[in-house]
């Protein structure tokens, strides 16, 4: 009898929040390539349904559930409905997130609230709703998407850095409360990747030049390069890895 591949995700269902585009969609494809069925999420049902149809046309076992991660009651109802309709959510990737750039002295309270409610409350809301089911089963994987801003600040994005630093500590806190129930909760922290969220940076040649000099690998990341780390953290290979942040950043957070 061959030894099972510890990196396979067959018979596992993964909910990836914020997966109608960008990093979330790439991670959903990566988890599917390792054998998982995937549930696509975003705020707009039509967009999530379209992405789901595209994935199905590629032979991927996909479903979708549209909800706003910032809304606690809406999230709980959507997660309970998913568990009823499809069965267990074995893997949760808390990926939904937004950016807003402004000097801190000009940052409006409304923009601060919107950012925190998405990037931090969203991780709490979805994790709590999913973990309540996982705890009953005595197993589950949660991957929280952090950032190099979980460690390092930059001008004009202090609230984003605060939210991602908090995601790092919430990851440890979830480990403190839920590891004993058989859950593994880890963070995956990307460096700089060219997506909608980073449009202002992608369009700025001076930033690109600075970034390529600042990053030991000398370049932007390619979104597909996040998939191996996500599959690892979602798989039995990581069954004793808990409360960690895995930086996929070309060395950026390791070198001054």
State which of residues 64, 192, 232, 247 lies at the interface with ligand NDP (CB under 6 A).
192
At residue 38, what are phi and psi to the nearest 5 degrees?
-125, 145
Asked whether position 37 contacts ligand NDP by CB under 6 A, the answer is no
**Is residue 193 close enough to count as binding ligand NDP by CB under 6 A?**
yes
Residue from the set 65, 125, 127, 147 that interacts with ligand NDP by CB under 6 A: 147
Smallest distance, Å, CB 11 to ligand NDP? 26
21 near ligand NDP, rule: CB under 6 A: yes
Beta-strand ranges (E) seen in the chain are 13-16, 37-40, 62-64, 91-94, 140-145, 183-190, 245-248
Whole-number minimum distance, CB 160 to ligand NDP, in Å? Answer: 7
* Site size with ligand NDP, rule: CB under 6 A: 31
The SS3 call for residue 187 is: strand
Give the helix, strand, coil percentages of the chain, each rounded to 5: 50, 15, 35
The two beta strands, 91-94 and 13-16, are parallel
Yes or no: say if 30 and 55 are a contact pair by the CB < 8 Å rule.
Answer: no
| 160 tagged catalytic | yes
Write the CB contacts of 22 (distance below 8 Å, at least 6 apart in sequence).
Answer: 195, 196, 197, 223
Query: What minimum distance in Å lies between the beta carbon of 252 and ligand NDP?
Result: 10
Does 150 sit near ligand NDP (CB under 6 A)?
no
Catalytic residues: 160
Interaction site with ligand NDP (CB under 6 A): 17-24, 41-44, 47, 68-70, 95-98, 118, 122, 145, 147, 190, 192-193, 195-198
């Amino acid at each position: 009898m061959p030894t099972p591949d510890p990196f396979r995700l067959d018979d596992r269902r993964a909910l990836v929040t914020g997966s109608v585009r960008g990093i979330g969609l790439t991670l959903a494809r990566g988890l599917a390539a390792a054998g998982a069925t995937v549930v696509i999420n975003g705020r707009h049902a039509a967009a999530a349904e379209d992405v789901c149809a595209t994935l199905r046309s590629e032979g991927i076992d996909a479903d979708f559930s549209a909800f706003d991660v910032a809304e606690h009651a809406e999230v709980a109802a959507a997660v309970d409905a998913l568990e009823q309709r499809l069965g267990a959510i074995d893997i949760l990737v808390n990926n939904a997130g937004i950016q807003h750039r402004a000097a801190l002295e000009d940052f409006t309270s409304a923009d601060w609230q919107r950012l925190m409610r998405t990037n931090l409350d969203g991780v709490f809301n979805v994790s709590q709703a999913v973990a309540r089911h996982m705890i009953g089963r005595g197993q589950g994987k949660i991957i929280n998407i952090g950032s190099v801003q979980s460690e390092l600040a930059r001008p004009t994005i202090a609230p984003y850095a605060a939210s991602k630093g908090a995601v790092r500590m919430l990851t440890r806190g979830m480990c403190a409360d839920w590891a004993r129930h058989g859950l593994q909760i880890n963070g995956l922290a990307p460096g700089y990747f060219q997506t909608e969220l980073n449009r202002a940076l992608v369009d700025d040649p001076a930033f690109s030049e600075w970034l390529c000099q600042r990053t030991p690998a000398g370049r932007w990341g390619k979104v597909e390069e996040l998939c191996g780390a996500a599959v690892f953290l979602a798989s039995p290979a990581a069954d004793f890895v808990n409360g960690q942040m895995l930086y996929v950043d070309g060395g950026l957070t390791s070198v001054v």
